[in-house]
């Protein structure tokens, strides 16, 4: 499955800008509950998708460093992380935009929304932990191409000892030359693998930093929202 396939299956694939937010397309006064249900459904779907991907990433990462390791596995891990990052970015935007419009929510909806934010943060934290472990394991288990230095000699002929000796020596020289060529080819392939691995690790580390920044942003949103709710509660108590 390619990166495009993962992205096409994500929660927010093919949705217009602002989809599912209070200020998004299709929002009309008097339809707040319908809009809230759409927001809740989108966030819930994103949380479920992130958790599924974490499970899949943890399962696939167990193959790193084993006989099942290879370029296909690492590309699959990379594509799944890219898809998950896209879902996290879009959900963070949805949470941020919806948090700024909580005045239109009822009390029960606010509590439900806060629960969704908390669950989303938990999912992001779990994903970030999984992603960090994968990066560490990939650094510790570099890919290496299979080496094949089999030596094949012609069968012995008991009646032609001199011819046999000549053929053996010729075969030995040819094999040594072939081995040198194979070693050079292997060296070139290993160099390419090292360079590719370095690029992949840098990309993964960049994604991890991005996810951590998102997590910090979410923490600020929750803190600010808590202050707003606390002020609102104190205001109600004073009125009583």
Mean pLDDT value across the chain: 73
pLDDT tens per residue across span 167-204: 666 776 777 777 777 777 777 776 777 777 677 777 77
pLDDT tens per residue across span 25-73: 333 334 456 788 888 999 999 999 999 999 999 999 999 989 888 889 9
Could you state, in order of their start, the residue ranges of all structural domains in the chain? 3-152+204-215
Mean pLDDT to the nearest integer, 209-227: 65
**Cβ of 60: how many Cβ atoms within 10 Å?**
16
Say if CB 185 and CB 116 are below 8 A apart: no
Residue 87, burial from CB neighbour count under 10 angstroms (0-12, 13-18, 19+): buried
Residue 46, burial from CB neighbour count under 10 angstroms (0-12, 13-18, 19+): buried
The runs of H, that is alpha helices, within 69-106 are: 71-99
Token pair belonging to 147: 């080496």
Say if CB 220 and CB 99 are below 8 A apart: no
The fold of the 3-152+204-215 domain, in CATH, is Methane Monooxygenase Hydroxylase; Chain G, domain 1 (1.20.58)
The runs of H, that is alpha helices, within the chain are: 3-8, 32-61, 71-99, 107-140, 161-239
Look at residue 3 in the predicted model and tell me its pLDDT.
52
CA distance to 11, 148, 214, 230, per residue, from 109 (Å): 22, 64, 24, 16
Of 137, 135, 98, 131, nearest in space to 211 by CA = 131
Compute the distance between CA of residue 218 and CA of residue 116 in angstroms, rounded to an integer. Answer: 12
Compute the distance between CA of residue 67 and CA of residue 150 in angstroms, rounded to an integer. Answer: 20
- Hey, is 66 helix, strand or coil? coil
Residue 146 pLDDT > 50, yes or no? no
């Amino acid at each position: 499955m390619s990166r495009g396939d993962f992205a096409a299956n994500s929660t927010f694939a093919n949705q217009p800008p602002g989809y599912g937010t209070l200020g998004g397309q299709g929002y009309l006064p008097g339809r707040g509950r319908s809009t809230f249900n759409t927001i809740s459904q989108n966030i819930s779907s994103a949380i479920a998708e992130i958790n599924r991907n974490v499970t899949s990433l943890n399962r696939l990462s167990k193959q790193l460093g084993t006989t099942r390791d290879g370029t296909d596995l690492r590309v699959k891990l990379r594509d799944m992380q890219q898809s998950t990052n896209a879902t996290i970015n879009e959900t963070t935007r949805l949470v941020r935009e919806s948090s700024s419009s909580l005045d239109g929510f009822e009390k029960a909806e606010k509590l439900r929304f806060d629960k969704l934010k908390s669950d989303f943060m938990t999912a992001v934290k779990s994903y970030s932990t999984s992603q960090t472990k994968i990066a560490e394991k990939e650094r510790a288990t570099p890919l290496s191409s299979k080496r094949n230095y089999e030596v094949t000699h012609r069968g012995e002929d008991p009646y032609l000892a001199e011819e046999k000796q000549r053929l053996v020596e010729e075969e030995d020289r040819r094999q040594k030359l072939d081995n040198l060529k194979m070693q050079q080819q292997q060296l070139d392939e290993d160099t390419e693998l090292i360079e590719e691995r370095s690029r992949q690790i840098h990309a993964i580390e960049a994604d991890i930093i991005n996810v951590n920044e998102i997590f910090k942003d979410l923490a600020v949103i929750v803190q600010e929202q808590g202050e707003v709710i606390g002020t609102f509660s104190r205001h109600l108590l004073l009125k009583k």
